[in-house]
A and B are shown apart, each in its own frame.
Chain A
Amino acid sequence: MKKSKLIPAIIVMFLFVLLQSTLLKKLPSHYIYPDIALIILIFFSNSRGVLEGQISGFIIGMAEDFLSLSPPGFNSFVKTIIGFIFGNTKGKIFLDPIFFPMLMVLIATLIKGFTAAIIASVFLSQEATPDIFTFRFLIELIENCICAPFVFAFMKLVKFYKFEDRGF
């Protein structure tokens, strides 16, 4: 019987959201740090599929919205789309240790930026619209790509997400 890993995955992602909002902020990096919860979401969606990917994206995005000044639904919208897209890559990508994790995270971070820019211009008033494509975004993009192979390797190492139902 296939066991759902949804709840443990959401807990792990939420722990990283807490880490990002507390401990990582103490690092001397001008408050720019990798979005580890996003990297885990990509890994999880890619290994578990569309359904679990988008549910975890929706929930973890909503948690970020509650802890952030962003309007409720903003991060959730972005992460639901990312969960959906990378859930569709299940079984279609051979995950090598370095190149594909970096490429997937690069694409996901760009999707995050573009989706945030589009939904901000469609749904939010001018006062509530944040600046998306800033220097901070560029730094986060680079940091995400650098961290991706390590986070993917760690996830494989702890065998938190098993691959037997990947279908290839």
Chain B
Amino acid sequence: MKLLAGNNRIKKSTLLFILFLLINSVLMISSDKGKESLKISEFGFSFLSLFQKGFAYTANFFIETANSINELRKVKVEYSKLLERIFEYESLEKDYLDLKRENNELRNQLMFGSTVKTEKIPAQIIGQDPGIFYNTITIDKGSKHGITANMPVVAFQEGFQGLVGRVIETGYSSSKILPLYDKKFSVSARLQNLRHEGIVNGTGNNSSLITMSYVSKNASDKIGYGDIVITSGLSSIYPSGIYIGRVRSVGAREYEPSLELELEPVIDFSKLEYVFVLKEGSVHEKE
């Protein structure tokens, strides 16, 4: 009897094992075809990210409280520095307004009838991929805040608006971002000064450089260390002029028709806390 009971137990667990593997297989196959499992995934993500959000907010509260004394010291020093900078910016603002007015007048003269306004939705990073095989950044804004898949995500660091990635999946109150350094990420880009175009791809690791390929060989003598690469605006997702990275090395093989550049992203992902999701707004007609 004991042996029989033992056999039943083995059968039960083996059957369950096969059932679990079957469920997983079906989910993976259907997700690869972009079908029903996406809804399960969205629901699961919406639900579990609530816990992730709660965990991240609680952890941040304690970390920030612990750091607050040290922060106060820094704030005092930074306050005096910022006061000086405000005086500089006040004079710059007048120049900026003059230039803006002049730019509008010139655009009207050149018949550039419309510009697309983008709305920036601020979001806090609440988590990242729990595993090592994929790269994800999770933010605390989702479909209820107007975020949809494929919206570009940027951040501000050291005065630059740098590209972070794009929204790849949205839950009700949180979204997943495919970061710039992921291998599946690609964006049409150009060298800011030389205007040569290329395609920027991630290399899969946030601490390593990203690559820009298909750059014309004509540019090989002119490209310099530190040259800025921006989005070209040729792809339908990313607006033009967003900073991507700085050139760190130029790879030129004789048998290849184009150059491959290594770039250091403008955004330091290890320091990233807040991002902005760019939502394409209405088209503003110029008078």
Contacts and interface: CB of A to CB of B under 8 A. Distances in A.
Contacts of B168: 69
Most buried by B among A26, A32, A72: A72
A136 B205 contact: yes
A139 B215 CA distance: 34
A54 interface: yes
Interface size class of B (residues with CB under 8 A): 35 or more
A28 B268 CA distance: 12
B19 to A, nearest CB: 9
B128 interface: yes
Contact of B31 (A18, A71, A75): A71
Contact of A66 (B17, B41, B56): B41
A119 B216 CA distance: 39
Given A23-B59, A124-B32, A72 B40 contact: yes
The SS class assigned to the B binding surface is helix
A68 B32 contact: no
A126 to B, nearest CB: 10
B205 A67 contact: no
Contacts of A161: none
B167 to A, nearest CB: 12
A132 B59 contact: no
Contacts of B75: none
Contacts of B119: none
B13 A50 contact: yes
Interface string B1-40: 0000000011011001100110111111101100001001
Q: List the 9 closest A-B pairs by CB distance, nearest first.
A: A66-B44, A73-B27, A73-B24, A71-B31, A77-B24, A130-B133, A21-B127, A73-B28, A21-B130
23 contacts: A21-B138, A22-B55, A28-B270, A35-B132, A49-B13, A51-B9, A51-B16, A54-B16, A54-B17, A61-B24, A65-B41, A67-B49, A68-B130, A69-B129, A69-B134, A69-B136, A71-B32, A72-B28, A73-B23, A75-B131, A76-B24, A80-B20, A134-B205
Interface of A: 14, 17-23, 25-26, 28, 30-32, 35, 37, 49-51, 54-55, 58, 61-77, 80-81, 84, 87, 116, 119, 123-125, 127-128, 130-132, 134-137, 140
